[in-house]
Structure 1
């Protein structure tokens, strides 16, 4: 039996009596009723709030959240006003309390604490007693706590709960924290006529999806409702090909069908990125003439995936009479420059005019792949795809002179290089694999250099899965350029590369970057209480609070400790956070610092590595089922991330989330032991504090349960009309 509350598989009957399960059960019940507490609209009682800081001021908010930005150490005071809005009903104030006061929120002493005598507030009267909550914190982060107002309608015997959430963003500079609304409407974009573009080259598509297979691929290899016998036979053939796997006989059929399936899925998914009600900025381009800048959230992480030359339809939002063809002229992060419109478009454009957008995939990459598959036999390359066993194993020739002395001294790396250069695998590829940080990239670079040294006519193409990885391999090869003639390699300008040897004992390892402690070690953790964000339903998250902490460390490293920008690397698991950090560093003139995902840093090292973990969907009022780390729990990514630093690794994250995983918990605890833990510490919030929170919300949940029970019906007297009994309602009539 699985426990859905605690998200634990196969639990015993005793689990449901444990303190952990009971805590999660109450927190889950609280979460389920939270919106009702916040959105009380009966009109009997009202609660408003006034708060201000050096950044801004707020007078209540409709969604029940009172958001305010403040500087570190700044004191913020929330002033609450309570009013009886009824014209005839008397309400009594049972109690006013914070659900928890764990994050530096302190309430003033007042007459409405739990256990005190309730006070009555007459109709159309305002409470004169002051109710305030004071907050201050030295640490950057997002702090929040709910405040509960418990009322009793004396005339109807109803209980009323009103909740407000106080949210304080502690930050050095004010950032907008408004929820990001996705422009992707998933609505059909169509019009009665299309103004064609004169700049789109019309050509005949090749290797198109067969008409008979379209429906099958669209339904992901399942029969549609209107399928006939031919569809059944065709589906059976396709499934048989995929079930068999790739063979020499079915290679061409296998990959043609696989590419057609992929194309169909891409087309279907691309409809999810139809945009509705967006604006565009007119922009004159030196290369492309009159263009329009279109903000496309998620473009940087290839959601949607656009390429220069792709076509799109642009329709005025107000009507469906016509729309325009356009072409993607340039792409810069999350902005696409589009042009090639029909001359009629200028008559309908305006800075505030709203448009709908539909994207179309480019078939060029797919056509090239189809062509490559189709040409395998024509160019006689089957032997490379399906190599035979190399029975004439050539002898391994020992190498006496190595370019990298570290490879020469490592038996496994040396063996790999000698076998690659000797060609022991024949026509088959030589596979080199190993855990992160074991020197695979160094070994490949040594093999490349030895192959060129062995035969100057060798021409080697190095392919990687990212531009950053390709740059890394190229810069490693450039180090040995003085040993070869210039004709062997194309190198970057030396103005942008500065190579030197690092001492084995790097002093930066023992320096506290923030200056909070007299000494430090090579591993650091900085806790930040924050919340992850994402655009719409994008799977890529970002965290603006962690961006500010990253910026803080970078400033200290460069300005105080004189660390070169090219010696700092920033790693984060999400591409959206990559762009957020790049933007924040560019704003302060540090755009030369490399920022990339974990995959981009595979095989790469830096003197200082800063890791932004991003995921932070946790707070003290969430039950365990709500805690999610995504692929932060992946062992390989964890290993790659923390092994990229030569001298110091600094990890930034929310410990409330990270400590749910054993790997991160071990790292965080080690930093505590070494005295290299900074920022918000989850250690202050132990099980005893959690019990206090549960004890605080339990009475409310008990009253809710009692109030929602249906009263027993009384027997009606003969000859009398049924009396209308009023059922007690904890939340009021919503």
Structure 2
């Protein structure tokens, strides 16, 4: 938006031969047009860099979303012929991923990028120090199943789960004991503001003030060595309530995609497997962990309750 200041200072259209818009998938189309309309001529090359399959613009008005303002310009371009067919004259796909451990990257790559992402992370030896936590050091994803109780205070639309919050704090305490992780290396993602508050307060009571706890939106574009996800919900009866307030993980593939790709070396998920299986993407993650013997906690639901066929991983430890 501040690019309008260039125009106000007398920078004319055509002054720049190229304009690059970074994180173009997160910005609304009108905001994108502030730059393009003020500074571009027909000959100007505009490069939009971003992922239309991750979270888009944050729009609070349901009317605005209904009329298309929740869709970024880069996402809308992919509805056009040349971009939709990934014509190399218009689309360059960046497939090398330098963030995630190959095991963490595998499922998002299959689900959102047709298996094209290439894990280029360097040293992954740090997983050796987590043998006291992981069943297999080569599979740095762990799903911890908890059938807790989701609560809310008064008419606050946000939920929290005390049992999950306690488990998250216990996992962090154990990680800090068995490894040389710093507080800034750990991040906690949860979709509800009240759960953020509960976990933050519990960590501060233990003197752990440097661990970031926040929503998926607050973590987009960021990365941590270790990410812990608290899914919170233990019942389905309020699912429509969550949709009304744009809360939760279920039925939001983009929120899932961002959440599970913030971890560089270790991904821990705390949640109720009986709720998770109701969502196509979370179900696949749960079964991915089960297949690799990296599930702990309450009994798993039978496969007959799955809503989709399981995506078979490439390997099993």
CA displacement at 1:562 relative to structure 2: 2.1
State the alpha-carbon separation in 2 of the partners of residues 582 and 544 from structure 1.
12
1:265-664 equivalent positions in 2, closer than 5 A? 390=13, 392=14, 394-396=16-18, 425=36, 427-428=38-39, 433-435=50-52, 504-509=122-127, 512=130, 514-515=132-133, 517-617=135-235, 626=237, 628=239, 630=242, 631-632=248-249, 633-664=251-282
Q: Which runs of 5+ in 2 are unaligned?
A: 23-34, 41-45, 56-120, 243-247, 306-317
1:626-705 equivalent positions in 2, closer than 5 A? 626=237, 628=239, 630=242, 631-632=248-249, 633-683=251-301, 685=302
Go from structure 1 to structure 2 and tell me whether the alpha carbon gap of 1:665 and 1:686 turns closer, same or farther (over 3 Å shift): closer
In the superposition, the TM-score normalised over structure 2's length comes to 0.57
CA displacement at 1:537 relative to structure 2: 2.1
Higher normalized contact order (CA 8 Å, seq sep 6+, divided by chain length)? 2
State the alpha-carbon separation in 2 of the partners of residues 567 and 559 from structure 1.
14
Q: Which has the higher helix share?
A: 2
Larger radius of gyration: 1
State the alpha-carbon separation in 1 of the partners of residues 143 and 15 from structure 2.
51
State the alpha-carbon separation in 2 of the partners of residues 538 and 512 from structure 1.
38
CA displacement at 1:504 relative to structure 2: 1.6
CA displacement at 1:639 relative to structure 2: 1.2
1:9-408 equivalent positions in 2, closer than 5 A? 390=13, 392=14, 394-396=16-18
Structure 1 SS opposite 2:239:
coil
State the alpha-carbon separation in 1 of the partners of residues 16 and 150 from structure 2.
56
CA displacement at 1:563 relative to structure 2: 1.2
CA displacement at 1:588 relative to structure 2: 1.7
CA displacement at 1:509 relative to structure 2: 3.7
Go from structure 1 to structure 2 and tell me whether the alpha carbon gap of 1:394 and 1:412 turns closer, same or farther (over 3 Å shift): closer
Q: Which has the higher strand share?
A: 1
In the superposition, the TM-score normalised over structure 1's length comes to 0.26
State the alpha-carbon separation in 2 of the partners of residues 531 and 508 from structure 1.
34
- The question of whether the paired residues in 1 share the 8 Å contact of 2:130 and 2:175 is answered with no
CA displacement at 1:665 relative to structure 2: 0.2
CA displacement at 1:557 relative to structure 2: 0.9
* Number of residues of Structure 1 aligned to a counterpart in Structure 2: 209
2:80 corresponds in structure 1 to none
Go from structure 1 to structure 2 and tell me whether the alpha carbon gap of 1:427 and 1:541 turns closer, same or farther (over 3 Å shift): same
CA displacement at 1:514 relative to structure 2: 4.8
State the alpha-carbon separation in 1 of the partners of residues 139 and 304 from structure 2.
30
Structure 2 SS opposite 1:555:
helix
Q: Which runs of 5+ in 1 are unaligned?
A: 1-379, 398-410, 414-423, 439-502, 619-625, 689-734
State the alpha-carbon separation in 2 of the partners of residues 627 and 660 from structure 1.
13
CA displacement at 1:651 relative to structure 2: 1.1
Superposed CA deviations along residues 111-132 of structure 1, whole A, max 9, x for unmatched, are xxxxxxxxxxxxxxxxxxxxxx
CA displacement at 1:686 relative to structure 2: 6.3
CA displacement at 1:395 relative to structure 2: 3.0
